[in-house]
Structure 1
Amino acid sequence: MIKRLWLLFAQVITVLLAVWFIVATLKPSWLTGVQISSLVDNVNLKEASYDGHSISPGSHYEAAKRSMPAVVNIFSSKALAKSLNGKNNAHRNEPWYQFFFGEQGPEDEPSTSLGSGVLVSPEGVILTNHHVVAGADDIDIALSDGRKTKAKVIGSDPDTDIAVLKIDLKQLPPPITLGKIESVHVGDIVLAIGNPFGVGQTVTSGIVSALGRDHLGINTFENFIQTDAAINPGNSGGALVDTRGHLIGINTAIYSQSGGSMGIGFAIPVNLAKQVMESILTNGSVTRGWIGVEPQNLSKELIKSFNLPSTTVGVLLSGVLEGGPADRGGVKPGDILIAVNERSVADVTALLNVIAQLGPGNQANLKILRKGKELNLQVPIGKRPQAAKKQ
C-alpha cells in the first residue's frame, strides 16, 4: 500500500514539474501573476497618412530616379607579368612551388580595379575616366538592372582623363541627359552617383563649391567642378548630376590625406567631356594643337633676372624643340611669350589651353619679348603628340 502511494506521489510530482516547465518556457507571465499587456493600459499613436506616392519635401528622389539607371559599375582587370624582375621563373616547375601554389602562382593573379561609368546614348556609349580602364585587359560592366556584359574601349584621352567605352546589349536603360555647363553655379545642389569602395550604386549630395579649378596637377588640361558631395575610391567615372537629373560632370578625383572623402572632390565638366567624346567617336583620338616648346611660369625672380617691369605677364620658353613648329617659326630658348593671337598668356595652363584649341595646320601669331624687345612671329601649329610633355 505504501509502495503504491509513493508511486502515485512520484507520478503527480513529475506531471506538475512538466507543467511548470512548459508554462515557464511559453508563458512565464502566468507564474508571476502579472499580465504583460497590463503594463500599459492605453496607447495612442499618431501615424502619418501615406499613400506610397508622395515625396518628402526637398527630396532629390526624382533627380536620382532619372539618372541612376544610366550609371554603371566598371570592373577592369589586367594580368600581371609572368616574370619577376625579368628573371626566368624556373621555380614554377619545382615540386614545392606547385604544392603550395599549384600551376598558377600568386604572381599570375590579375589585378583588378573598381570604377563607375555613365551611359550617354542608347547605342551603348559609356563615358568614364581614362585611369579607370588604362591598361586593362578585361572590362566588365554591371548595369543598374543587374545585367553584366563586356565592354570595349573606343578611345581615351589621358590629358583630360576621359575614356569612351561601348557595350552591345539590347533594351539598355534610358541614357542620361547631358546638362549645360552654363546652367551650373556655385552653391547649386548636386548629386554624385557611383560605386564607392565596391559597395554598390550609391548617391551622395552636396553643392558646387567652385568652378574652373585648375593648377591642381591632376590632368594636363584642367577645368574642374569642385564639389563637397562625398566622392570616394570607386566613384571615378561616375555621374555628377544637378537637381533635374542632368549630367553636369564626370567624377574624377578627390583631395584626401586618408584615401576617403574629405569634402573636396573634382569632376570634369560635361562640356569638356562631350567635346572629348565626340572627337574620340569621330577620329578615335583627340587632336590638339602643339608648337614644341618647354614653357615655365614667369616668377618674380625670373622677371627680375630678365630686367623686366614687375607687371610683366607671360610664360618663359625655357626650351624649344629642334625642328618643331616653334623652332621653324623663329622662336628661341629664353623668349618670353606674352600673347597668342592677341590673347594674353598668364601662365603655362593658359598657354596649353590656347594652343590646344588651335587646330593643326593653322598659323598662330606669337607676341614675345626677346632681350626687352617685342617681336611678332608667325608659328605653324602642329599636332600634339600623345602624352607629350612639351607644349
Structure 2
Amino acid sequence: MVVRSTQFFLALCLLVSMAASARGGLPELTDLIEQNSPAVVKINTVERSRAASSGVPPQYQQEIPDIFRHLLEPRQRQQRPVASMGSGFIISTDGYVVTNNHVVDGADEVRVTLTDRREYEAKVIGTDPRSDLALLKVDADDLPTVRWGDSERIKVGEWVVAIGSPFGLDYSASAGIVSAMGRSIPNESRENYVPFIQTDVAINPGNSGGPLFNLDGEVVGINSQIYTRSGGSIGLSFAIPASLAQDVVAQLKEKGRVDRGWLGVGIQDVDRKLATAMGLGKPAGALVGQLEGGSPASQAGIQVGDIIMRFDGQKITTSGDLPHVVGQTRPGTEVPVQLMREGKERKLKVRVGALPGDDVGQQQASAPASTDVGGRLGLVVDDIPDGLKQRLGVDSGVLVKQVVPGQAGANAGLRSGDIIAQLGFDGVESVSDYEKIVKKLPKGELLPIRFFRGGQPTFRTIQIDED
C-alpha cells in the first residue's frame, strides 16, 4: 500500500508539473492587450446614395444600346445610405489613424470611436488601393498611440495578437501564430505589391485595418484579408507587413499619394523543366516573358528569356517576389540586377522608373471641395503614358489624376487611376478632346460615361448639378 501510494503521489506530481510547464509555454497577453487597446479604434463609414433627378434627354434615347438603357433611367426610389465598419489604430498623439483602403473606399462620412467612447469625425488624408492602406486624421490631441515593430524580423511560428471589432463586437482580441511569410495575393487589378504575413489568428469582417501585434506590443502588420468559404474565420488571415505600411503611410502623409518603382516586364515562375532547360540547379527566379518598349528594364539591357535572380541585392525565389521588391524601390534609384541568360550569369544596373498611373494614391478625399479644382466634373486629368496604354490594352482616353469629393466625377464613382474613354456620346481621345466635351455637357442631365479600371471597361452615369 505504501509503495502504491508513493507511486500515485509521484505520478500526480508529474502531471501537475507537466500542466504547469504547459501553462508556462503559452504567452501571457493580458498586459499587451490592456496597454494597446486604447490606441485601437473602431471605424464606422456611411456612403450616401445619390438619386437621379431626371432621365436621358429624348434626343439621345435612340442612340443608347438597349443593354445600357436601364442604367440611365430615372430612379424612382431613394436608396438608404450604406453603412459599414472596420478597425484602425492611432500612430501619433495628434490624431493620425491607419486603416485599410477598403474600409473607407467610397465613404462620404468616416467616424472614429475610441475605447473610452470618444468619437471623432475623420478626414481621409490619402489612400493607396495597391497596398489597401489609408491614412486618416482626427482633430484631437494627446491621444494614445501604438508602436511600430520590425516585420522583417518576425518568424513563422511566432505568436501574434490582433485587436479589432469583428462583426461590430468592439475591441475584441484574438491570438495565434504566424503561418507563413511573403504570401503573394494579387488584387482585383491582378497587381501584386504586398508580401502578406499569413497567420491563423481569428480575423473576421470588422477586423480589417486593425493592428497585428508581436509579443513586445509592437505593430508588425495590418489585418487586411481572410480566406473563407463561410464569411467567417477558418484560420487563414493575411496582414500587410509593417515595414511596407510605414513607407506607404509616410508618403500618404507627405504628399497624399504613393510613388512605386516600375521595371516594365511581364514575368512568370520557373518550373522544374524550365530550370533544367535554362541551366539552373533548381526552380528559382522570375522569368521575363514580356518586355515593354522604352521601359527601365529594356533600357538596362534586360531581355525576354532572362531569369532575374536578385534585385537590389534581394533574392528572388519566385516570380511573386519581384513586384514586392521593385514596388518598394523609389523611382529614379539605380540598383544592381543579377540574372541568368542562356545558362550564364549576368549583372546589370537598372534605373527604376515610376509605376504609370500610380498617383492612385488618391487625394480625392482630402482635396478641397471646390469647382476651381477639376473644372465642371471635379476631375484633374492627363494624357495616358504610352507604357500604361500597353499595359492596360487601351488605345486612347485620359487618365484621372485627382477626384474632388462632392463633385460630379466623385458622385459618379470615379477614382484616381481610371481612364475615361467616353463622355456623353463622344469618344475621348486626349485631354484637349476631354476639355471640349466637358464645356458642352448639359447641366442637370444624366449622361453615360465609359471608363477603364484595372483594364476592365465600365459604364456609369454622370450628372453636372452646378457650374
Aligned residues: 318
Q: 162, 173, 176: which is aligned to 1:192?
A: 162
Q: TM-score, normalised by structure 2?
A: 0.60
Q: Amino acid of the residue matched to residue 225 of structure 1?
A: I
Q: Amino acid of the residue matched to residue 42 of structure 2?
A: N
In the alignment, the residues of structure 1 paired with residue 314 and residue 154 of structure 2 have an alpha-carbon distance, to the nearest angstrom, of 26
In the alignment, the residues of structure 1 paired with residue 38 and residue 280 of structure 2 have an alpha-carbon distance, to the nearest angstrom, of 57
Partner SS for 1:144: coil
In the alignment, the residues of structure 2 paired with residue 236 and residue 258 of structure 1 have an alpha-carbon distance, to the nearest angstrom, of 17
Give yes or no for contact 2:161–2:201 (8 Å, CA) kept in 1.
Answer: yes
Q: Deviations over 1:330-353 (max 9, x none)?
A: 333333333335654332222223
Structure 1 match to 2:43: 74
1:146 paired to 2:117:
yes
Structure 2 matches for 1:1-391, cutoff 5 A? 60-80=29-49, 82=51, 87-90=71-74, 92=76, 101=77, 105-106=78-79, 109-170=80-141, 172=143, 174-181=144-151, 184-204=154-174, 206-217=175-186, 220-303=192-275, 308-309=279-280, 311=282, 313-341=284-312, 343-372=314-343, 374-385=345-356, 386=358
Q: Amino acid of the residue matched to residue 136 of structure 1?
A: A
Cα 1:66–1:343 change in 2 (3 A) is closer
Q: Deviations over 1:105-145 (max 9, x none)?
A: 23xx3333210010111110001112211232221212222
Q: Deviations over 1:239-277 (max 9, x none)?
A: 223445433322122222211111222222333322321
Give yes or no for contact 1:300–1:310 (8 Å, CA) kept in 2.
Answer: no
Which deviates further from its counterpart, 109-118 or 277-286? 277-286
C-alpha deviation, 1:166, in angstroms? 0.6
Cα 1:168–1:181 change in 2 (3 A) is same
Give yes or no for contact 1:316–1:336 (8 Å, CA) kept in 2.
Answer: yes
Give yes or no for contact 1:291–1:324 (8 Å, CA) kept in 2.
Answer: yes
C-alpha deviation, 1:229, in angstroms? 2.7
Cα 1:373–1:270 change in 2 (3 A) is closer
Partner SS for 2:43: strand
Structure 1 unaligned spans of 5+: 1-56, 93-100
Q: Deviations over 1:38-79 (max 9, x none)?
A: xxxxxxxxxxxxxxxxxxx98633222211111111122334
In the alignment, the residues of structure 2 paired with residue 132 and residue 91 of structure 1 have an alpha-carbon distance, to the nearest angstrom, of 27
In the alignment, the residues of structure 2 paired with residue 140 and residue 373 of structure 1 have an alpha-carbon distance, to the nearest angstrom, of 57
Q: Deviations over 1:3-56 (max 9, x none)?
A: xxxxxxxxxxxxxxxxxxxxxxxxxxxxxxxxxxxxxxxxxxxxxxxxxxxxxx
In the alignment, the residues of structure 2 paired with residue 221 and residue 177 of structure 1 have an alpha-carbon distance, to the nearest angstrom, of 24
Q: Deviations over 1:194-243 (max 9, x none)?
A: 11112322222x23233524134467233333333321100011122344
Give yes or no for contact 1:340–1:354 (8 Å, CA) kept in 2.
Answer: yes
Q: Amino acid of the residue matched to residue 258 of structure 2?
A: V
Give yes or no for contact 2:32–2:216 (8 Å, CA) kept in 1.
Answer: yes
Which deviates further from its counterpart, 346-355 or 367-376? 367-376
Cα 1:198–1:360 change in 2 (3 A) is same
Cα 1:281–1:86 change in 2 (3 A) is farther
Give yes or no for contact 2:202–2:235 (8 Å, CA) kept in 1.
Answer: yes
CA RMSD of aligned residues (A): 3.1
Cα 1:85–1:157 change in 2 (3 A) is farther
In the alignment, the residues of structure 2 paired with residue 181 and residue 259 of structure 1 have an alpha-carbon distance, to the nearest angstrom, of 28
Partner SS for 2:184: coil
User: Structure 1 vs Structure 2: percent identity of aligned residues?
Assistant: 35
Structure 2 unaligned spans of 5+: 1-25, 53-67, 361-387, 393-467
